[in-house]
């Protein structure tokens, strides 16, 4: 009887969004009288940071600081249409819609500024700090605050824009059923190293090394946080979490989260994250959707590591000590 060490590898690709009905999302952008910008969406921030990313996308497109952008997710009664926050689609679909809306609002803003400065709108640019400058003559400028005031109270213009992102719909081929469910895919590879006690079946995950290709990290620190958290969740799925008791019957199942088995801080492995950026041709500033896939490759990687350590293949989750011991006994009996 001994502690045996094993290493497992798994790689996945994951579609961004879906194909159903073109997977549309709409966005509205408008300026307040003081030059802040309101983005209205029905896409919901579930805690993944979508509001922050949409603010960055809008600010970058219009040319203002991020803190000048307010995100209003409203509700499905009052907001523009969105298919929903799922399928790792939020950044890609809503981000593209926000870019369209922000471009339209920016154009109106430049037209109003051009009237105030008595130049052509095509001769203007933003400095990213809240000002509009004449190209080649930066001393001739106007603040976006003053442009917004002029639009609302002098020019009678609405600095606003509408955006909608819709992917080309793919229909299945009649002969083969083949289709293209997504326009871009994220990718990941995980290497997990574990120790397995072949006397008790207990598994200890020592290290998890993850490489994620996500298009472009629009907010690198938030991406890192999501990928690390997803990696821990993947380990939890692999070794701990289940809504069904595995012995001896359903009466022994947990009834609340106090009895629901999850790893604690002492159970988490040393985790390494490497992000590869390969910008997507149709993503907002090249971004793809890393949301759901970040918890996927750890599961088969841990299963492969257990197999490498003790030579039994566990194909039911979670990979519990009991299942490992039953497999080892069956292997010995065979």
Query: Is the Cβ–Cβ distance between 202 and 64 less than 8 Å?
Result: no
177 lies in some domain: no
Q: Are residues 321 and 224 in the same domain?
A: yes
Q: What is the 3-state secondary structure (H, E, C) of 185-203?
A: EEEEEEEEEEEEECCCCCE
pLDDT at 248 over 70: no
Please tell me the distance from the alpha carbon of residue 58 to that of residue 66, in angstroms, as a whole number.
8
Report the phi/psi class of residue 142: left, alpha or beta, with left for phi > 0 and alpha for psi in -120 to 50. Answer: beta
> Bigger pLDDT: 283 or 45?
283
Write the pLDDT tens digit of every residue in 289-321: 888 889 999 999 999 999 999 999 999 999 999
User: Tell me, what's the pLDDT at 334?
Assistant: 81
Please tell me the distance from the alpha carbon of residue 127 to that of residue 310, in angstroms, as a whole number.
61
User: Tell me, what's the pLDDT at 109?
Assistant: 98
Mean pLDDT of the chain: 92
Q: Are residues 61 and 32 in the same domain?
A: yes
Q: Are residues 28 and 95 in the same domain?
A: yes
Please tell me the distance from the alpha carbon of residue 216 to that of residue 198, in angstroms, as a whole number.
43
> Bigger pLDDT: 257 or 94?
94
Last residue of a domain, one of 142, 167, 192: 167
Q: Are residues 72 and 142 in the same domain?
A: yes
Tokens standing for 90? 């939020």
Q: Are residues 191 and 223 in the same domain?
A: yes
Write the pLDDT tens digit of every residue in 84-142: 888 888 899 999 999 999 999 999 999 999 999 999 999 999 999 999 999 999 899 99
Mean pLDDT of 23-35: 94
Residue 245's pLDDT band (boundaries 50, 70, 90)?
Answer: low
Number of H helices, E strands in the chain: 6, 11
Cα–Cα distances in Å, from 121 out to 107, 254, 316? Answer: 8, 65, 63
Whole domain around residue 282: which residue ranges? Answer: 3-16+182-333
Please tell me the distance from the alpha carbon of residue 228 to that of residue 230, in angstroms, as a whole number.
5
Q: Are residues 28 and 152 in the same domain?
A: yes
User: Tell me, what's the pLDDT at 246?
Assistant: 54
10 lies in some domain: yes
Residue 16's pLDDT band (boundaries 50, 70, 90)?
Answer: confident
Q: In what order do the strands lie in the sheet with 131-134?
A: 124-126, 131-134, 137-143
Name the DSSP class of 324.
H
Total tally of structural domains belonging to the chain = 2
199 lies in some domain: yes
Write the pLDDT tens digit of every residue in 156-211: 999 999 999 988 888 888 999 888 878 889 999 999 999 999 999 999 999 999 99
Cα–Cα distances in Å, from 311 out to 11, 254, 303, 304, 332? Answer: 21, 31, 11, 9, 11
User: Tell me, what's the pLDDT at 118?
Assistant: 93
User: CATH no. for residue 44?
Assistant: 3.30.365.10
């Amino acid at each position: 009887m001994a502690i045996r060490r094993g290493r497992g590898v798994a790689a996945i690709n994951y579609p961004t969004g879906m194909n159903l009905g073109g997977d549309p999302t709409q966005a509205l952008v408008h300026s307040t009288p003081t030059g802040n910008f309101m983005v209205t969406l029905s896409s919901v921030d579930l805690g993944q940071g979508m509001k922050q990313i949409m603010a960055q996308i809008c600010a970058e497109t219009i040319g203002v600081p991020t803190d000048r952008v307010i995100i209003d997710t409203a509700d499905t009664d009052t907001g523009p249409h969105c298919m929903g926050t799922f399928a790792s689609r939020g950044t890609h679909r809503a981000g593209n819609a926000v870019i369209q809306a922000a471009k339209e609002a920016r154009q109106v803003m430049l037209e109003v500024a051009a009237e105030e400065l008595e130049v052509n709108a095509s001769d203007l640019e933003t400095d990213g700090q809240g000002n509009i400058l004449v190209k080649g003559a930066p001393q001739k400028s106007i603040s976006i605050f003053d442009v917004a005031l002029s639009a609302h109270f002098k020019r009678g213009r609405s600095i606003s824009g509408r955006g909608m992102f819709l992917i080309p719909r793919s229909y299945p081929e009649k002969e083969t059923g083949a289709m293209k469910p997504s326009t871009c895919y994220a990718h990941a590879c995980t290497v997990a190293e574990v120790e397995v006690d072949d006397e008790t079946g207990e598994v200890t995950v020592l290290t998890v090394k993850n490489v994620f290709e996500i298009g472009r990290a629009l907010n690198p620190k938030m991406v890192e946080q999501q990928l690390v958290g997803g990696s821990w969740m993947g380990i939890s799925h692999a070794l701990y979490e289940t809504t069904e008791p595995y012995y001896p019957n359903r009466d022994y199942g947990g009834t609340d989260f106090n009895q629901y088995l999850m790893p604690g801080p002492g159970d988490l492995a040393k985790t390494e994250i490497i992000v590869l950026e390969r910008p997507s041709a149709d993503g907002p500033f090249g971004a793809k959707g890393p949301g759901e896939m970040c918890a996927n490759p750890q599961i088969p990687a841990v299963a492969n590591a257990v197999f490498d350590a003790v030579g039994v293949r566990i194909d039911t989750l979670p990979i519990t000590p009991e299942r490992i011991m039953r497999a080892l006994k069956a292997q010995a009996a065979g």
